[in-house]
Amino acid sequence: MMQATPGETTSVSDMLPLATKVPPLRKDSNLTLGHVSEIHRTPRIGVELKEDTQSAESINAIVSGVSELTMPEQVSGPSHRINPGVATAVPLSLVRPSAPESISMDLSSLMSSAVSSRDSFEWMIRNHPMFFRCLPYDHPTRHFYLAMTGSRLLTQFQESGRIKDVHDAITYLVDALALPPSGPEGPIEDEDEMMVILAATVSTLGDAYKLRFEALDRDEDLDEAIDSCAKALTFCPNDDPRRSSFMEDLAQVFQVRFERKGQLGDIDEAIDLLREALTLSTMGDDEEALRSFASSLNWLGDVLMLRFGALSRLVDLDEAITNYAKALAFCTSDNPKRSSFLHDLVQAHISRFRKTRKIRDIDEVIGLLREALVLPSTRHGHGAISPHLSTLDQLGDALMLRFHQLSFIEDVDSAVETDTNALALCPETGPLRLAVLDNLLGALLASKAGRIEDIDKVIDLQRQGLTLMSDEEEDIELEALASHVCNLGSFLFLRFGASARLGDLDEAIENFAKALVVCPNDDPNRLLLLNNLMRSYMTRFNRTGHKKDIDQAIERQREVLVLPLAEAEDSANSSPLFRINQLEDALALCFIRLGRGADLQQAMDSFHRAVHLYDKADSSYVRSLHSHAVSLLEQFGLQDRIEYLEDGVRCNSESLPVAPNSSSDSKNVTNGTRALSLNGLGLALIARFKQFSAESDLDEAISSFREAAILRPREGAIHSNLGAAWRDRFLRTGEIENLDQAIMCQYRVLALEPFLRCEGLNNLAGMLLSR
């Protein structure tokens, strides 16, 4: 056996290439094996290489003798694999030399010194074709030097990128595996050590195929890598501490092939291997062992997420979340990977929320992202997104998701604050700032609260965003431009509600119209634009009474009716029945303001044509009954026929579903739908009270409005109707407590709808004067 350095013992398996643990591929790795480069950064020889002037002299002597040799003819040797495209017509290690005996003796001296001398070793690597031409095929140490040279060429390939090095490395490693395992002094007799050496050599061959796959993108190299890694695992004894690393090597290439070809068998194999590797791994007491164990857990989570993406099985998603959470538990606060682990767990919880709609996943996401914000930010390259900015952006999205589920105004306020902080970190120009700005505006739009100066600021920001878009006109898609112009119109519409300035409403309509022009016909947002435009025209018609506005509103709604439904459409506000309801509303309003009986008749005809489409358990049927009741009440006002009034009360009564409760299933209608019906019934009862002065109608109207307000406590219109009913009772009875109730309702309207302050203040002033 070779001589070890003082104070050390060295076995042949220490000197040969050993497979080191491969870090798991990140799921955003784009099918690369770049992390394999970490494996071969140092020579895989287990002894220290030293400077040796005596060896240098022997090298010079050998070089001078060998340089006089001519290239011999190829001789037969063991069959071995040559992959297509490998630039070696003659396997370099199978050429039998015809060197003088003196050179062979000096070569033996060189080989001996190469094990411990850096000069000799580096010479051997630089001149490997010449070296193996001089080394007899049946030399007892040939396996050892083939494996050692193949490993060093692999490192050299990673340092230089020269593809010939990895070709030669594969050739030498394949040739080594065709020979009996040996050490620097001859064949290995011990069977256990022989298996260890074979496992190490074939594992290194697997690494070489991985690297060539990454360089040349050839499927056959990936298949060879899987074959080699599987053989390494077969050779590796069950009690070998490297067995878990070999399993991870094999899992890695199975994962890459799955991402490349989509074969489910590959990802199944990867998951099974990683699970088994974890059972063999020991956490240990040192920090490095804990980090390695945490990384393995997180990697298993990654591959489970890949299978979930392919099969959508909730069990894979649940197991991924469990492993991500365990990885995070073993990850210390100062571990640079903690932030990455946090975000992996965040994405898994978001995926499960989208699958199950359980709010606890969003709660977890918000908590994790808030923790991520206090972690020290890692460096990011030029042009990369700051980790802190990315986390703020995700937190804002999560808060808005929870708001849409639970309607907690605190979540909207937090989202506004979060998106504002994110905007402060954005570059002054570019698409990133536009995206964050869009999120902030969406949160502000959802809040429906704020001072007029806040809306002024938002509108200025939106105009700034549009200026940024015009600066990057060539890179901006029409859908994005339409979305931003629509947002500007929405905020101008809100400011009109607060300021009552007709100029804001005019500009809102102008922006909605512009957005509609640039919005592609197949864009799902076209429906939203048409609805916004229709609503704005109706609002301006109510303000000015101009016939052209209500005509425009009706035309936009008729355009909505012919829009195709999206394939995944699940919004009740986009259903055909809802669209018909909106047309009924517009036609009814047209009659109310212009007195055109034909418009009212069209509204009623729309209901009769569509009624056969309705499922009476569907909320659309309830809404349509409500709209039809409104038309009936207007028809009563036009013709003064009592049957229209009675039909209006009956329609609203029929539209009342059973009140939802905790045990209601998906067939039950929502609180909002029942509140709409109660509100409509209250209005019809008030109309009948004013016709016949029956106090029972007024009492029932107040009862209906009060229940509706309980179901929808943030709906200002319902509180306004309730206040008007209390005021009617005060005028009827003269009891001051009824007026107090009316005033309280109006104060609630002002608190809930700050953008309707003008109308609300007028109503409140009238009530206070009555008091």
Q: How far is CA 722 from the centre of its chain?
A: 45
Residue 343 lies in a domain: no
Across the strands, what pairs with 515? none
586 vs 555 pLDDT, higher one: 555
Question: Is the distance from CB of 633 to CB of 644 less than 8 angstroms?
Answer: yes
Residue 442 lies in a domain: no
Please, which pLDDT band fits residue 432 given cuts at 50, 70 and 90? Answer: confident
Where does a domain end: 235, 263, 281?
281
C-alpha 391/C-alpha 402 separation (Å) is: 17
What is residue 175's predicted lDDT score, i.e. its pLDDT? 95
Residue 147 lies in a domain: yes
C-alpha 713/C-alpha 388 separation (Å) is: 37
Q: What percent of the chain has pLDDT over 70?
A: 65
What is residue 391's predicted lDDT score, i.e. its pLDDT? 92
Helix and strand numbers (H, E) in the chain are 32, 2
Residue 351 lies in a domain: no
Residue 16 lies in a domain: no
468 vs 164 pLDDT, higher one: 164
Residue-wise over 396-409: b if at least 16 C-beta within 10 A, else e?
bbbbbbbbeeeeee
Question: Is the distance from CB of 411 to CB of 399 less than 8 angstroms?
Answer: yes
What is residue 290's predicted lDDT score, i.e. its pLDDT? 87
DSSP 183: E
How many degrees, rounded to 5, is the angle at CA 716 between CA 702 and CA 395? 140
H or E stretch covering 11: none
Using CB atoms within 10 Å of the CB of residue 467, give its burial: 0 to 12 exposed, 13 to 18 middle, 19+ buried: exposed
Where does a domain end: 250, 281, 312?
281
What is residue 157's predicted lDDT score, i.e. its pLDDT? 94
| pLDDT exceeds 90 at position 112 | no
Tell me the CA end-to-end span of the chain in Å, nearest whole number.
Answer: 110
| pLDDT exceeds 60 at position 77 | no
Mean pLDDT of the 28-37 span: 34
> pLDDT digit string (tens) for 694-734?
999 999 999 999 999 998 888 888 998 999 999 999 989 98
Question: Is the distance from CB of 74 to CB of 89 less than 8 angstroms?
Answer: no
What is residue 761's predicted lDDT score, i.e. its pLDDT? 65
Least confident of 484-488, 676-680, 757-761: 757-761
Domain of residue 701, CATH code: 1.25.40.10
Packed helices 142-160 and 163-177: angle between N→C axes, nearest 10 degrees: 160
Mean pLDDT of the chain: 75
What is residue 467's predicted lDDT score, i.e. its pLDDT? 80
Least confident of 8-22, 226-240, 633-647: 8-22
**Residue 748 structural domain:** 645-770
> pLDDT digit string (tens) for 352-403?
999 998 999 999 999 999 999 988 764 444 444 678 899 999 999 999 999 9
Residue 428 lies in a domain: no
| pLDDT exceeds 50 at position 337 | yes
Alpha-carbon distance values, 636 to 648, 673, 690, 691 (Å): 9, 25, 13, 11
> pLDDT digit string (tens) for 576-618?
444 445 545 554 545 444 444 454 455 555 555 555 455 555 5
17 vs 771 pLDDT, higher one: 771
Least confident of 274-283, 360-369, 452-461, 510-519: 452-461
Residue 601 lies in a domain: no
Residue 658 lies in a domain: yes
Question: Is the distance from CB of 680 to CB of 652 less than 8 angstroms?
Answer: yes
How many degrees, rounded to 5, is the angle at CA 91 between CA 85 and CA 92? 120
| pLDDT exceeds 90 at position 686 | no
Using CB atoms within 10 Å of the CB of residue 664, give its burial: 0 to 12 exposed, 13 to 18 middle, 19+ buried: middle
What is residue 88's predicted lDDT score, i.e. its pLDDT? 35
Q: Which two tokens stand for residue 682?
A: 């209250």
C-alpha 242/C-alpha 167 separation (Å) is: 27
| pLDDT exceeds 90 at position 333 | no
> How many domains are contained in the chain?
2
Using CB atoms within 10 Å of the CB of residue 216, give its burial: 0 to 12 exposed, 13 to 18 middle, 19+ buried: middle
Where does a domain end: 227, 246, 281?
281
**Could you tell me where the DSSP H helices lie in 500-596?**
502-518, 526-544, 547-561, 576-594
Using CB atoms within 10 Å of the CB of residue 386, give its burial: 0 to 12 exposed, 13 to 18 middle, 19+ buried: middle
What is residue 5's predicted lDDT score, i.e. its pLDDT? 36
